[in-house]
Structure 1
Amino acid sequence: MASRTSDPTAPGPSPAARPLRDTASDGLKIVIVGGFGAGKTTMVGSVSEIRPLSTEEVMTQASVGIDDPSGVSTKSTTTVAFDFGRISLDDEMVLYLFGAPGQERFWFLWDRLFSGTLGAVVLVDTRRLADSWYAIDRLEHHGLPFVVARNNFDPPEHSLDQIREALSLNPDVPLLDCDARQRESSRDVLIALVRHLHSLSSEETPS
């Protein structure tokens, strides 16, 4: 039986399938939070370079009376722990993305996810705007920098200024539009967060 040999001319694995580089030495952690059905799992999946680790489960009758599906009645799955994705920024620096569960019964996991976090994205679904208040409150409690992204699954009915006022956001907190289904849009949200973190770091650095 002939032995199997590798073909040096054969194409290698796609970037999404390659393992983490041996040179990677710095890991940066970002958490994506928001209410139930806001699009956190979608955002992690759209921007991750690897197939995301997801803990989504099919919603059953057991969740009736516990999870509130109003405004997201077409949603059939839910995250029960967290979602995980990865972006390699360069040969040494890697960004790890954690999508937090949105249902109130899983909020106790958030404080653990916040440990070691560089910053956060609050994903807002205007159909359930009040769901964002807890996320903002917890981030402010922990003193974690964050940006707020309005996820436009549907055409927006309110201006960003109206959203800022409704959420009582500090003027210094970046607020922007996004579509979590689009890689470029999700990437722009992460870039906005990195820029915000850099700006805050510059303010703290003595001249």
Structure 2
Amino acid sequence: MSLPAFAASDAPPILRGDERTAKILVAGHFGAGKTTLVHCLSQIAPVSTEEVMTTAGAGIDTTDLPNKATTTVAMDFGRLSLTDDLVLYLFGAPGQPRFYPVLQDLAVGALGALVLADTRRLAETYPILQLVEDLGLPYTVAINLFDGAPVVPEQRLREVMDLAPETPLVTCDARDKASSRDALIVLISHLLTLTPEPSQ
């Protein structure tokens, strides 16, 4: 089975009710770009639970990211029609360890996960990958291309993240609609390879 051509329009289509739907988890460490990606791709007004970080999180959450003043405390939600008959529901999970139970809850019913990572903070990706694997979700890793982040060869990234050969690894810019869409398409294509063809 191959993925049909991507829907050309960015306008939110009127759903007929007979579309195939898929729940996709957008995961990653704190500051990996999950909220940015969901907001960039959603064809509806996204639901966001971004809150301003305060001193109450000092010593608990990473706070040394430049220009990072907010954090997701529950989830981000968006909707994207990949084709006329395939609708994705995107659930962005918070990345801090204290919110891992939220990630686990959001993963229920998800077909797969797009795991965002920043090469400046790869070590923070490892527990997220372990959690996604423990949940039994197939996933694709998308290296978010932050300005000034080091460029790491793919083979080295696969080694340090201990990725299975069949796990897709891509790069994307979560601020760019086409780039983020392409990363999602890689994930969906990967999920299709894991789904047996229907018997004739």
Matched residue type, 2:147: D
1:127-170 Cα deviation digits (max 9, x unpaired): 11111111111121122110000001124331121111111111
Q: In the alignment, what sits opposite 1:116? A: 109
Determine if contact 1:24/1:91 at 8 Å carries over to the other structure: no
1:201 aligned counterpart, secondary structure: coil
Q: Deviations over 1:164-199 (max 9, x none)?
A: 111111111000111110000000011000110111
Residue aligned with 2:48, SS: coil
1:196 paired residue number = 190
CA contact (8 A) 1:40 1:99 kept: yes
Q: Which structure 1 residue ranges, 4+ long, deviate > 6 Å from structure 2?
A: 204-207
**Aligned counterpart, 1:5:** none
Q: Does 1:73 align with 2:69?
A: no
Task: Give the structure-2-normalised TM-score.
Answer: 0.88
2:32 equivalent to 1:26: no
Give the greater-gyration-radius structure (CA): 1
Q: CA RMSD in A?
A: 2.0
Deviation at 1:27, TM superposition (A): 2.2
2-side partners of 1:64 and 1:118: how far apart? 35
Q: Give the gaps of 5 or more residues in structure 1.
A: 1-13
TM alignment of 1:14-93, pairs within 5 A: 15-16=11-12, 20-70=14-64, 72-93=65-86
The answer to whether structure 1 residue 136 and structure 2 residue 129 are counterparts is yes
Which of 156, 166, 171 is residue 162 of structure 1 equivalent to? 156
SS of the residue 1:149 aligns to: strand
AA of the residue aligned to 1:189: A
Aligned partners of 2:198 and 2:159: how far apart in 1? 30
Q: Which amino acid aligns with 2:28?
A: G
TM-score (norm 1): 0.85
SS in 2 for 1:171: coil
Q: 1:147 aligns with which of 140, 147, 153?
A: 140
Shift of residue 200 of structure 1? 1.6
After superposing the two structures, state which structure 1 stretch, 126-135 or 20-29, moved more: 20-29
Partners in 1 of 2:124 and 2:199 — Cα distance? 38
Unaligned runs of 5+ in 2: 1-9
**1:174 correspondence with 2:168:** yes
| Structure (1/2) with the larger strand percentage | 2
CA deviations over 1:31-90 (Å, ceiling 9, x no partner) = 0101000000000011111121110001111111111123x1320000000000001234
